[in-house]
Structure 1
Amino acid sequence: MIGKLKGTVDEIGEDHVVIDVHGVGYVAHCGARTLGALPGPGEAVTLFIETYVREDMLRLYGFASEIERAWFRLLQNVQGVGSKVALAILGTLSTGELASAIALQDKAMVSRAPGVGPKVAARIVIELKDKAPAFAGAQDAPSMGLKRNLGDGLAPAAITDAVSALTNLGYSREQAATAVSAALKGAGEDPSSATLIRLGLRELSRG
């Protein structure tokens, strides 16, 4: 099994890249985001690989990170999601956006991916809800609990009001939830919505 390819970019196609590893060209099928982030031909590249072996086919799927590959595997546990749809989702949403969409039960965000209808999007956010935090990645982990509570309607009123206020100011719900989550660390016990808004804006200004 091939788990990782380290070589140089030989050719970039519409849905794949050819990686030259010591004179051998490996074709790795990738999502749009991964393809868009690749360096030019002749440049060094490393891709994490998922190898699919069938009776009449050997296919490699390439990912920029291990967490992206893990999401690719996880998504296919949902009925109606095969490799093509999983790749389309990861080509449309970053792993952080996907984790946030699942935590917030945002079916509309998931259905932005080509080939993902409302029913499949609903199954993804419902069936993977409890698994999203584990696959969010370290940078998203601090805010996942809050995002999950917001999605469930369990967050305290001050937090909900603060997220709503920041959203009304033009920030995305994910940005607002992440900022409020960071603000909670220095807000003391039982902070008011005004305090969370102020600290949340401070966090957002740093970005």
Structure 2
Amino acid sequence: MIGKLKGVVDELNEDHAIIDVHGVGYLVHCSGRTLSALPRAGEAAALFIETHVREDAIRLFGFASAAERDWFRLLQGVQGIGTKTALAVLSTLTASELTQAIALGDKTTVARAPGVGPRVATRIITELKDKMPGFGAGSVSLADIGGAPAAAPVAGGAAADAMSALVNLGYGAPQANAAIAAALRSAGEDAKTETLIRLGLKELAK
């Protein structure tokens, strides 16, 4: 199985790119976001790859980040979501935006993707809400915040609920605590849980 390709961009098309790796041109289907991030033809590029093997074909799907590839895999686990719809979602939303939308139950944002109506958006949120690991453009490691002073533990109520939501998304308790503490400083002690989650995710994306 191919997990990553490093080569030179040979062609850029509407829904795929051809990556030349030592004289072999690999046709790789990509989201619009990934295609727009690729350099011009003749320049070096690297893509994370998801390989689909069928009886009559082998298809390669390329992504600018491992997080985008992981979301592609997760989205296809949702009933009725195939590769085309998964790529449409990832063409419309970044990994961080998709994480935030699902955490907040924001079906309007998810439904912005072509071919994803309110019913499908609701299904995506419902089926992936408890399956999201702590990856994505907004995920950070403890090493990333190792130099920052520890935040005081958040109090109960909305802040505790928001912290719990971030932990359920896969973030470590120290990360979630620091993010919600910063969100409280920004939004005030009376902020609602949804507001704190949104601001907390923004803090983790910095």
Question: 1:23 offset after TM fit, Å?
Answer: 0.7
Distance, in Å, in 2 between the alignment partners of 1:35 and 1:186 is 34
Q: Which amino acid aligns with 2:84?
A: K
Distance, in Å, in 2 between the alignment partners of 1:104 and 1:186 is 15
**2:7 matches 1:2:** no
- Work out whether residues 158 and 193 of structure 1, in 8 Å CA contact, stay in contact via their aligned partners in 2: no
Describe how 1:59-70 pairs up with structure 2 within 5 A: 59-70=59-70
Match of 2:96 in 1: 96
Match of 2:78 in 1: 78
Describe the shift of the 1:157–1:55 C-alpha distance in structure 2 as closer, same or farther (beyond 3 A). closer
Distance, in Å, in 2 between the alignment partners of 1:82 and 1:67 is 18
Describe the shift of the 1:58–1:187 C-alpha distance in structure 2 as closer, same or farther (beyond 3 A). closer
Describe the shift of the 1:186–1:46 C-alpha distance in structure 2 as closer, same or farther (beyond 3 A). closer
**How many residue pairs were aligned?**
166
Question: 1:89 offset after TM fit, Å?
Answer: 0.4
Distance, in Å, in 1 between the alignment partners of 2:61 and 2:139 is 24
The superposition leaves residues 118-169 of structure 1 with CA deviations (integer Å, 9 ceiling, x where unpaired) of: 111100001100122x144373469xxxxxxxxxxxx835899xxxxxxxxx
Distance, in Å, in 2 between the alignment partners of 1:183 and 1:74 is 27
Match of 2:30 in 1: 30
- Work out whether residues 71 and 135 of structure 1, in 8 Å CA contact, stay in contact via their aligned partners in 2: no
Match of 2:105 in 1: 105
Distance, in Å, in 2 between the alignment partners of 1:114 and 1:186 is 32
| Larger relative helix fraction | 1
Match of 1:146 in 2: none
Describe the shift of the 1:17–1:187 C-alpha distance in structure 2 as closer, same or farther (beyond 3 A). closer
Match of 1:127 in 2: 127
Q: Which amino acid aligns with 1:182?
A: A
Match of 1:170 in 2: none
- Work out whether residues 70 and 135 of structure 1, in 8 Å CA contact, stay in contact via their aligned partners in 2: no
Question: 1:182 offset after TM fit, Å?
Answer: 3.2
The superposition leaves residues 43-86 of structure 1 with CA deviations (integer Å, 9 ceiling, x where unpaired) of: 11000111111111211100011111111011111101011100
Question: SS at the partner of 1:88?
Answer: helix
Distance, in Å, in 2 between the alignment partners of 1:102 and 1:183 is 18
Q: Unpaired runs of 5+ in structure 2? A: 142-155, 162-176
Question: SS at the partner of 1:19?
Answer: strand
TM-score, scaled to structure 2: 0.71
- Work out whether residues 99 and 135 of structure 1, in 8 Å CA contact, stay in contact via their aligned partners in 2: no
What is the percent sequence identity of the aligned residues? 58
**2:187 matches 1:156:** no
Distance, in Å, in 1 between the alignment partners of 2:68 and 2:28 is 14
Distance, in Å, in 2 between the alignment partners of 1:192 and 1:116 is 36
- Work out whether residues 50 and 62 of structure 2, in 8 Å CA contact, stay in contact via their aligned partners in 1: yes
Question: 1:15 offset after TM fit, Å?
Answer: 0.3
Q: Which amino acid aligns with 1:137?
A: G
Q: CA RMSD in A?
A: 3.1
Distance, in Å, in 1 between the alignment partners of 2:134 and 2:89 is 15
Question: SS at the partner of 1:14?
Answer: coil
**2:193 matches 1:192:** no
Distance, in Å, in 2 between the alignment partners of 1:73 and 1:57 is 19
Describe how 1:32-51 pairs up with structure 2 within 5 A: 32-51=32-51
